[in-house]
């Protein structure tokens, strides 16, 4: 079974609007971390935001926030006030316990329209 | 700091050839991983290491070999290249601890003909 599921292969959003990228995860561990990365067309992987399983508050980093719903095992990325430079692939990833590598979802391609 | 350095950036191989993708990090990170990225498949884990001398297989290890003799270096060897190994390869490293994400190299675009 997939550990990370991103159900939206592609999305469009109007510039200056907010957009939510979905991510659900599967784990039996109590201790885990959830990450979002951005991959622009240039190809580099850029870390955006992190949420720990024990964090009670949703993580925020500038225009990025993570809508963490532990009981539903979802960790959606919210981008507020979209900009043209936000057009990219976005990957959700999870790390379970100590000593395990990141496992990625298949990604969502976001296109921001002027 | 250079971060994670991958070489080469581009490579074309003939079927059956072998080669080594180099990865080096200067951040004293214990964890290192190799991923391949194919369209529509996300990043899939090939091999990973939690420290010098320790490696383990990921989701798609067949046809690849790794070793970790030093903290800094984590080379990926293609034993006998196949067209199915045409992909973009990323090396990444991380500190120990759940809250640390990976720092990625810039990737190697490999084509096997």
List beta partners, residue B35. B45, B90
Predicted local distance difference test score (pLDDT) of residue B53: 95
| A32 contacts on B by Cβ (under 8 Å) | 98
Predicted local distance difference test score (pLDDT) of residue A1: 61
- Number of CB pairs, chain A paired with chain B, less than 8 A apart: 61
Predicted local distance difference test score (pLDDT) of residue B1: 63
Nearest Cβ partner for A91 among B43, B45, B48: B43
Average pLDDT along chain B, 113 residues, taken 10 residues at a time = 91 97 96 94 94 95 97 96 97 88 95 97
Predicted local distance difference test score (pLDDT) of residue B98: 78
Q: Which residue of B has its CA nearest to A7?
A: B40
Predicted local distance difference test score (pLDDT) of residue A16: 97
Task: Select from B43, B88, B92 the residue whose CB has the most chain A CBs within 10 Å, as the one to mutate to test that interface.
Answer: B43
Alpha-carbon distance of B71 to B83, in angstroms, equals 31
Nearest to B102 by CA among B33, B8, B1: B33
Predicted local distance difference test score (pLDDT) of residue A102: 92
User: Rounded to the nearest 5 degrees, what angle is found at the Cα of A44, between the Cα atoms of B80 and B108?
Assistant: 20
Alpha-carbon distance of A48 to A112, in angstroms, equals 18
| B104 contacts on A by Cβ (under 8 Å) | 44-45
Q: Do B45 and A98 touch (CB under 8 A)?
A: no
List beta partners, residue B11. B110
Q: How many residues does chain A have?
A: 114
Predicted local distance difference test score (pLDDT) of residue B23: 98
Closest approach of A4 to chain B, Cα-based (Å) = 10
Q: Do B99 and A50 touch (CB under 8 A)?
A: yes
Tally helices (H) and strands (E) across chain B. Answer: 0, 11
Predicted local distance difference test score (pLDDT) of residue A11: 96
Task: Select from B98, B102, B106, B109 the residue whose CB has the most chain A CBs within 10 Å, as the one to mutate to test that interface.
Answer: B98
Alpha-carbon distance of A30 to A97, in angstroms, equals 8
Predicted local distance difference test score (pLDDT) of residue B100: 84
Q: Which residue of B has its CA nearest to A48?
A: B101
- Tell me whether the omega of the peptide bond preceding residue B8 falls within 30 degrees of 0, making it cis: yes
pLDDT in tens, chain A (114 residues): 679 999 999 999 999 999 999 999 999 999 999 999 999 999 999 999 999 999 989 999 999 999 999 999 999 999 999 999 999 999 999 998 777 899 999 999 999 999
Alpha-carbon distance of B51 to A60, in angstroms, equals 31
List beta partners, residue B10. B109
């Amino acid at each position: 079974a997939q550990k990370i599921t991103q159900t939206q292969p592609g999305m469009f959003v109007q510039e200056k609007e907010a957009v939510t990228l979905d991510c659900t995860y599967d784990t039996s561990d109590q201790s885990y971390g959830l990450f979002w990365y951005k991959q622009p067309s240039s190809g580099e992987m850029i870390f955006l935001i992190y949420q720990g399983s024990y964090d009670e508050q949703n993580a925020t980093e500038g225009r990025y926030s993570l809508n963490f719903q532990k009981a539903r095992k979802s960790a959606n990325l919210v981008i507020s006030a979209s900009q043209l430079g936000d057009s990219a692939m976005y990957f959700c990833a999870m790390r379970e316990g100590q000593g395990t590598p990141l496992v990625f979802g298949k990604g969502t391609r976001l296109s921001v329209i002027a | 700091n250079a971060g994670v350095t991958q070489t080469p950036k581009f490579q074309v191989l003939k079927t059956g050839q072998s080669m080594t993708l180099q990865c080096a990090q200067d951040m004293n990170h214990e964890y290192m991983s190799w991923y391949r990225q194919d369209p529509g498949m996300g990043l899939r884990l090939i091999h990973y290491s939690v420290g010098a001398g320790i490696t383990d297989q990921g989701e798609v290890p067949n046809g690849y070999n790794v070793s970790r003799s030093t903290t800094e270096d984590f080379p990926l060897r293609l034993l006998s290249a196949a067209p199915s190994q045409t992909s973009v390869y990323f090396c990444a490293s991380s500190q120990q601890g759940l809250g640390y994400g990976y720092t990625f190299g810039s990737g190697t675009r490999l084509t096997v003909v």
